[in-house]
Structure 1
Amino acid sequence: MSVFSPLFTSLGSLLTHLADALDPLLGASATAGAIVVFTACVRLALHPLTRSAARGERARAELAPRLAELRRKYGKKPERLKEEAAKLYAETGTSPLAGCLPMLVQLPVFYVMYHLFSTGDGGGDLLKHKLLAAPLGGRWADALDEGGPLGAQGLVYAALFALMAVVATWTYLRNRKTAAALPAAAGADAPAPGVATMVKLMPLLSFGTLVTAAVVPLAAGLYLVTTTTWTAVERAYLQPLRTPAGREKQEERASAT
C-alpha cells in the first residue's frame, strides 16, 4: 500500500461528499462540479500566500534601481555580483523566487488529483463519473477514438481547450505589458535578475497547460483550467499590490504602444 493512500482516500471521500451536495443542481456532472469547487477552495486557502508573494514582487521591483547599480559596478565579476545581490535581498527580506511558492504548493494537490482519476486508488467509483459525455478518468486520445474531435466527448475537450487558450493568451498579454515596463522601472537596460526570466516563463507555462490537459485525465484537466483561470483573475485583482509607486504610468504607456 502506498504511503499516500490515506491522502487519496481522503480526497476521494471529500469529492464524493461535494458531488452529493451538488447532485441536485448538476446531476451526472456533479463530480466535475465538485472538482471545480475543491480547486477554488484550495486557491482561496492559498490567497494569503499569494498576497504575500505579490507584496514581495513589488518589493523586488522597487529594488530594481539598486540591483541595476550592482550590475554596473560588478558586471565583470559574476560571483561578486551574485554575492552582493544576495546580501541586498537578505537585507530587505525579499526573494527572487518567492512568487513561485503558491504554484509549488499546488503541485502535490495536482498529483493527488491525477493519481486518483488515473488509477481509482482511494476514489471508489469516481472513475465512472462524467462531465457531460466525457468520463472524468478519460483522456483526449480516448475521446478522439470514441467519436473524433467533433464527437460528444471531443466537444467537451474542445470547450476545455478553448477556455484554457483564452486564459493563457490573456496571461501572456498581461505579462508582456509588465515585461515592457520593467527596463524603465529598473532604470537600466535590463530588468532585475530573475524577474525578467519569471515574466517570460509564466505565459509559456500557461500555454503549456494546454499540452498537459491533452494527456492527463479530464479530472486533472478541470483542475488545471480552474486554477489557471483563478490565477489570471487573482493577478489582475492583486496588481495594485505588486505595482511599485510611479510605475502605473509606465505600464499604461507600454500598453498603449
Structure 2
Amino acid sequence: MPVFTPLTALLSQLADGLAPLAGDSAMAAAIVAFTLCVRLALHPLARAAARGERVRTRLAPRVAELNARYKGDPQRMRQAVTELYAKEGVSPITGCLPSLLQLPVFAVMYHLFSGSGGALRQHALAGAPLGGHWLDAVRAGGVCGPQGLVYLAVFAVIAAVAAWTYRRARGTAAQAAPLPDAPGAAGLAKFLPLLSFGTLITAALLPLATGLYLATTTTWTAVERALLHRTPNEAVPAPGTVASTK
C-alpha cells in the first residue's frame, strides 16, 4: 500500500547505513534505531506523564480526604477531585499518550513484516527471518535451535522489563490517588500491573520484527521511567494540610 512506502524506504535506508556494522542483521538494527527515534520524539510527553504521576502521588492524602468528606455525594466528590488536579495542571490521560501514540507505529511495523505482502519480511536477525514466528523457529530447529535462540534472547529482554515494570506498577498503584468512587477500581488496580507480561505473549505470537520493536520500546520505557523518577521523594502532606509548592 502506498501509505507504507515512506516507512519502507526509511527502514531500507537505515539498514543500508548500518550494513557495514550489522551485516546481514542490518534491518534488525534499523528497527531498533527507528524505535529509539520514535521514543525520543515522544520523550516530552513522557516527562509530562512522570510529572503528573508524582503530583497525583503527592495529592493522594488530599484525595482520600475529599473521598471521606463527600462520601454521600459522588458527583460533588468527582468535581472536587477534578478541580484539585486542575489546580496542579495535571490530567489523568497524560500518562496514556506515549503508549497510545505508539500504536500506529506498531501497526505499521506489523504490516511491513507479516504475510506474503510484507515488503521487508525477507530480512533476518542472526539467521532468524524477521517475518517469521516463534513456532516456525521451533519447528525448524527446536526451542534452543539457532533461530530459537534469537527468540529466546528477545523474550528474555521483554520478560526482564515486564518483571521490573510489574514490581514498580504495584508500588505506584499503592501510593497513587484512587479514582473517586469508580466501580471495580480496586480490582482494576490489582490487574493492571499484570498487563506488562502481555507484551511477552504478543511477541511470541507476532513476527520477530514486532517482537524486536516491543523489546526495544519496553526497555526504553523502563530506563526512561527510572531516570524520570530518580529525583528525591517529595514530602507527602498529611490529610487536611496543603503541600507547599515552589
Query: Which TM-score bucket, shorter chain as reference?
Result: 0.7 to 0.9
Pairs within 5 Å for 1:137-148 = 137-148=131-142
The one of 79, 83, 101 aligned to 2:97: 101
Give the residue type in structure 2 aligned to 1:56. Answer: G
Q: Secondary structure at the match of 2:219?
A: helix
1:193 matched to 2:182? The reply is: no
**TM-score, reference length from structure 1:** 0.82
User: Structure 1: which amino acid aligns with 2:159?
Assistant: A
- Alpha-carbon contact 2:162-2:197 (below 8 Å) kept: yes
Q: Separation in 2 of the partners of 1:142 and 1:76?
A: 58
Residue 208 to residue 144, structure 1, CA distance change in 2 (3 Å): same
- Give, in angstroms, the shift of residue 132 of structure 1: 0.8
Of 67, 71, 74 in structure 2, the residue corresponding to residue 71 of structure 1 is 67
Q: Within 1, Cα distance between the matches of 2:152 and 2:69?
A: 53
Contact 2:58/2:235 (8 A) holds in 1:
no
Cα distance change of structure 1 residues 120 and 91 upon mapping to structure 2, 3 Å threshold: farther
Is the Cα–Cα contact under 8 Å of residues 117 and 217 in structure 1 kept in the other structure?
yes
Identity %: 59
Instruction: Give the gaps of 5 or more residues in structure 1.
Output: 248-257
| TM-score (normalizing by structure 2) | 0.85
Cα distance in 2 between the residues matched to 1:44 and 1:113: 18
Higher helix share: 1
Q: Which residue of 1 aligns with 2:163?
A: 169
State the alpha-carbon separation in 1 of the partners of residues 83 and 173 from structure 2.
25
Q: Is the deviation greater in 147-156 or in 128-137?
A: 147-156
Q: Residues 200 and 39 of structure 1: is their aligned pair in 2 closer, same or farther, counting only changes over 3 Å?
A: farther
Establish whether residue 231 from structure 1 lines up as the match of residue 221 from structure 2: yes
**Residue 121 of structure 2: SS of its match in structure 1?**
helix
Partner of 1:217: 207
How many Å apart are 1:79 and its aligned residue?
Answer: 2.9
Unaligned runs of 5+ in 2: 237-246
Equivalent position SS for 1:96:
coil
Deviation at residue 87 of structure 1 after TM alignment: 2.8
Alignment length, in residue pairs?
232
- Distance in 1 between the 2:88 and 2:235 partners? 20
8 Å CA contact retained: 2:28, 2:212: yes
CA distance in 1, matches of 2:65, 2:20: 62
CA RMSD of aligned residues (A): 2.3
* AA partner of residue 8 (structure 1): F
Supply the distance in 1 between the matched residues of 2:60 and 2:233 (Cα, whole angstroms): 10
Letter of the 1:225 counterpart:
A
